[in-house]
Amino acid sequence: MKVVLDANVLVSAVFGGIPRLALNRALREELWVSADTEEELLGLTDRLSRIMKPAQLLEWKANLGSFLSSVHRGSVKEPVRLSRDRDDDPYLSLAKAIGADFLVTGDKDLLSIEHEQLDRISLGRLKIVTPRQFLKQTSG
């Protein structure tokens, strides 16, 4: 199973709960990043240093390092332009490039994309789900 996690799921995983469980579940699958999504993740550290406690920031850095060392890297040849928020399109582009099964996100713009829209751009197999939905759909 090919999985793409967006940045907000990875940040939320630092605080535990469902996002952390979803991250741990996704790590047992094929997890993917692209140059664009990896760049976004790496760029978050400076911004997070202003809002996280030192222990949380250390956990973020450790999680990010572990995450990036264990993922597959996909190359995007055809960028997708679909989300209301253009910052979300790299995740859709990666999902298309690798034939992802799941895009796990808490982002309302991504979650609002209709299946018919995905189907029109050859992403009909992709399920855009919350961390909770991902856990439910992949348990067992």
Residue 107 has what DSSP assignment?
Answer: -
Name, in order, each residue with C-beta under 8 angstroms of 25's C-beta and a sequence gap of 6 or more: 134, 135, 138
- The tokens describing 75, both together, are 């190359």
Helix (H, G, I), strand (E, B) or coil at 124: coil
Two structure tokens written together for 62: 């450790």
DSSP 29: S
* Whether this model's pTM surpasses 0.85: yes
For residue 95, the Cα-to-chain-centroid distance in whole angstroms is: 10
H helix or E strand, kind and range, residue 2 = strand 2-5
What DSSP letter does each residue of 51-99 carry, written as one string?
Answer: TS-HHHHHHHHHHHHHHHHH-EE---SS----SSSGGGHHHHHHHHHHT
C-alpha span between 46 and 64 (Å, rounded) = 13
Distance of CA 10 to the CA centre of its chain: 7
Each residue's pLDDT expressed in tens, for the chain with a length of 140 residues: 999 999 999 999 988 999 999 999 999 999 999 999 999 999 998 889 998 999 999 989 988 998 999 999 999 999 999 988 899 999 999 999 999 999 999 999 999 999 999 999 999 999 999 999 999 999 86
